[in-house]
Structures are given as C-alpha cells and as structure tokens.
Amino acid sequence: MTTTVSHAAARYAAADWGTSSFRIWLIGETGEALSERRSAEGMTTAAKTGFSPVLEQHLEAMGAADTLPVVICGMAGARQGWVEAGYLDTPAALSDIVRHAVVVPDDRRDIRILPGLAQRDAASPDVMRGEETQLLGSVGALSGTRLVCMPGTHSKWVRVADGKVERFSTFMSGELFDVVSRHSILSHAVADAGAFDGTHPAFVAAVAEAMANPAMATNLLFTVRSGQLLHGHGATEAKARLSGLMIGLEIAGAATMTADAQTPVSLVASGPLAGLYTQALTAAGLQSQLVDADEAVRDGLAAAARALWPASVQTLSAV
C-alpha cells in the first residue's frame, strides 16, 4: 500500500520492520506523516534480498532525500536481521531505549535501529522487539502505574510505573487460537463460522468462565466441541466461545501482574482485536483506554527521532 504527497519538508523517515511486514513513513516538520508505504518485505524476505535495497527502494519511491535520517524499530534489529540491536534489560526506563539505538553503517544516511527489551529472570524469561516502541509512544510520558496490553499473535502485557518497564509477560493466545481452530478436534466445531465481535454472548460468557476457573483451561476448550454436539451450538457461536476462552485465560494470567484490580489498562490495538479485547476487559471488570496501535508505533518512533536528532527535529510534535 502506498500513500504519497509532497514531502520536500520531510525531516526523517520512521520504519516498523516486522517478521513478515514492513511499514515506513516520511515525517514532516510539524510531525505529520507526509508519505506512507507498506509491504510484505519483512525480516524473512529482507534477510534474503538485503535490508538496504528494500529500505532504499521505498525511500526512493517516496522521493526521500539521499541524506534523510531513518529510525527503525522491530525485527531489523534481531540477530537474524540487518544489524543486531540487542536487548535492554528490565527494569528499564523507556527513555533509555533511544540511548541504546544501534547505528547502521551507511555512506549517506544516519540510520538507527532501536533495541528490544529482555526480562532475564530465570523463572520467567521473556523478550520483546518492536512493542517497546509502542510503549514509548503510548505510555512513555505518563505517570503512575498501569498495565499495557498489546494483543497479537504473541500478546504482550507490560507493567509500567512512571515511564519504567518493571516486568512483562508474553501470551501465545493468537498463535494457540490459530493452531487449535485449524489443527485440533475443535476445527470441526468452528468450520464455516461467520464473523462475530466482542458483544457476542458466547464470547462474553467464555471470557468470564476462563477468568473464574483458569485451571480448567483444557476442559473448557473441549466444551466448545461437546457443547456443539449436545446442545446444537452453531459454528459461529463455537468460534466466539473459543476466542473468548483464549482471551479470558490470557487476562487471568496477566491479572497476576498487579495486586490492585483498579490498575488502569492501556490497550494498544487496532482492527478487530481492539474490539474483542475492549469487550473482554470490560467483561473481566477492568477499565481500559484504547490507543491505536499504528499511532503508538509512530509516536514512539517520533519520540526517538526527537531524542536522536534534536537539532533537526526539535520542532516536531507527536506524530
């Protein structure tokens, strides 16, 4: 996908380089996105074709100057990526992420890759790469303690206090939902299911059941099939129940990260997941504030750019 306008006033480019996706924006002098391009040239593809050619192809298509600086987050900094940008150990201040940005050798441009975060606790080791930039953009300037939920294939839940990441946990909810719904006995129950959202009664009820009794997780999952066989539940109802159980189990686990049920939750999401998680958090009795995931990553990259190149982008507001 490409969106292009006049961008002679671009101050820097910001890129989010995922495993299977690539997004880049040219950012203007007041923080506005002047141009945007998206493609499937994630790390897996770029590792074969070359990271620099992919980046330069998109910059050229947007008419970027040869010396325009670029700030990048995501898998370009992985061990298998362009230049390894390591991990910043937690607990860590979000503001420290920029100080550990790695320079990519380049004859023309100043290119920086932001590091990920690592939790090296032997009992609960964990890593994130890319989500730290969403954190920087969504809660980096906020005070107080909050949980941040970033749904996805591997959902991240993060406890942040006054701009410092204290701990985080990764939940494989999205991947498990895909595996179970495609490659287990439950695939028969959800075959030909239609669309549903977070208001579906089966979804809401399943979230509550999983929250109330997470120790019965595998039994609850089987009821998706047995409920259909014995009570005639339709495929859409079955799929909504499966989704609710998976997300409810995730929330039950994440709730152990704080002893205070009143701790606010910042939900960084977009698309269908935003609606599902908003309703699930409500069903779980948690108050949440939705932050658009795309805006969060752009705001995080903007914060990094202001710190990296203060002389040239000091006038920039948040993207």
CB 305 within 8 A of CB 34: no
Return the SS3 of 118: strand
What confidence score (pLDDT) does residue 141 get?
Answer: 79
Chain mean pLDDT for the chain = 93
Distance in angstroms (rounded) separating the CA atoms of residues 208 and 200: 13
Q: Is the pLDDT of residue 121 over 70?
A: yes
Strands, sheet with 92-93, edge to edge from the N-terminal-most edge strand: 92-93, 164-171, 155-161, 145-150, 265-269, 288-292
Residue 269 tokens read as: 């999401």
**pLDDT per residue as tens digits for the range 184-215:** 999 999 999 999 999 999 999 999 999 999 99
Does 316 have pLDDT greater than 50?
A: no
pLDDT in tens, 214-236: 999 999 999 999 999 999 999 99
Give the type of residue at 282: T
Is the confidence at residue 7, as pLDDT, over 90? no
With 70 as the cut, is the pLDDT of residue 1 above it?
no
The domain ranges of the chain are 173-292
Tokens 């325009």 map to which residue? 68
Helix axes 201-212, 217-231, angle to 10 degrees: 140
160 forms beta bridges with 146, 165
Average pLDDT estimate for 67-78: 97
Neighbours of 131 (CB within 10 A): 27
Query: Tens digits of per-residue pLDDT, 91-119?
Result: 999 999 999 999 999 999 999 999 999 99
Provide the pLDDT for residue 317. Answer: 45
Average pLDDT over residues 247-252: 98
Nearest to 235 by CA among 197, 195, 179, 175: 195
Q: Which residue has the higher pLDDT, 265 or 8?
A: 265
pLDDT bucket at 55, cuts 50 / 70 / 90 = very high
Q: What is the pTM of this model?
A: 0.92
CATH number, domain 173-292, options 3.30.70.20, 3.30.420.310, 3.40.190.10, 3.40.50.300: 3.30.420.310
Is 70 exceeded by the pLDDT of residue 9?
Answer: yes
Amino acid 183: pLDDT: 98
